[in-house]
Each structure stands twice: as C-alpha cells, then as structure tokens.
Amino acid sequence: MEKNKKIVFIIHGWWGYQKEGWFPWLKKELEKRGFRVFVPKMPETGKPKISRWVGKLAKIVRMQYKNTYFVGHSIGAQAIMRYLEKLPKSKKIGGAVFVAGWVSLTNQTPEEKPIAKPWLRTPLNFKKIKNSGNKFVAIFSDGDPYVHFSKNSKVFRQKLGAKIIVQHKKGHFSGSDGVKKLPVVLNELLKIVKK
C-alpha cells in the first residue's frame, strides 16, 4: 500500500449492507479520485452490539491514521465515535462525515428500542472523540423519522465542533428512501481532506 494513500471507511447503519443506497456510488466516486475505499459488512446488522461493531472497526482499521477518514450512516456514526474514543492519544484520524448520526432517537421505532438502549445509554466521551479527529461534519435530513434534527445537531455541533448540514426530504438517507447518490457527503469529505 502506498505510504500516503488516503483511505476511507464507509460504515453502514442498522439493517444496512455494503451495496445499500448511496454507498456504491460514493465508493466509486472516491476511487476515481485515488482513494482506497472499504465498505465492511458489520456484524449482526439487525441486532447491532457496541462491542461487536467497535471490535470490527478495531480489527480492520490498521492504517496510517492521519490519512484515514470515515463516513458513517446512522448507527454506523455511533460505531465510529465509539471506536475513536478508544484510540490512544497519539493516534488521530483525518476526519469523519456522519450521515443521520444520532445520540437520541424519536419514538418512531418503539419495537427496536431494546436494541438501541445500550447505544443510547452508554455515555460517549466526546472530548476523546474530538481529540481523535481533525474535522467532523454531521449531515441531517429535515424529514428523518428516526433522528430528531435539533437535539442531535446541537450535540454534534457543541461537543465535536462539527459542521452541520441539513438536507431536505431525504428521509433517513437509506436505500429504502430512494437515496442512490449523496453528493454532499463526497463534497464535504473532499473539503476535509484538503484542509
């Protein structure tokens, strides 16, 4: 692997998969620009567990950190943050773009609350997360049935210093919402890389 090659990990969400929605499009666009891109299959996507998802990231992200970037969708954003808070102080990634990331959920999915409970109740160490990355961007949809915009955007802005972007009528940015391309993610990631 080239020493200064830029690497991007795209982490899908709950019930997500590698070829879902906009992931293949983003992977292709980044590869055209010379990035190495990985879209790993996360374990037990229907019943995601913190230890399994963070453990998977710890196992696969064995790269030069300053040239490593993340894109996380929904619970994938949570997994990335929980991975970052465990990095040693000497390690710092280039940055991350969170799409429909959350620290709290709406009441739209009561049947899934038991699965979400550990993710919601296990505190995140935002100071450590912020110190483990150079730049953060958080992208939300004003029509997301699961992620409350004002509550979550406030946390990402205040605790991580993230740039906040609102997209209109994108639902939860899932393949089932018909989102097959997401240029805002590509553009913001390229801006992070240039800085």
Mean pLDDT by 10 residues, the chain (195 residues): 79 94 97 96 95 96 83 98 92 95 83 83 96 96 92 97 96 88 97 87
Give me the pLDDT at residue 170, please. 93
Give me the pLDDT at residue 24, please. 97
Q: Are 76 and 103 in contact (CB under 8 A)?
A: no
Give me the pLDDT at residue 102, please. 96
Where do the domains of the chain lie, and which CATH numbers do they carry?
7-194 (3.40.50.1820)
Query: Considering the entire predicted model, what is its pTM?
Result: 0.94
The CA-CA-CA angle for residues 22, 20, 135, to 5°, reads: 50
Give me the pLDDT at residue 194, please. 87
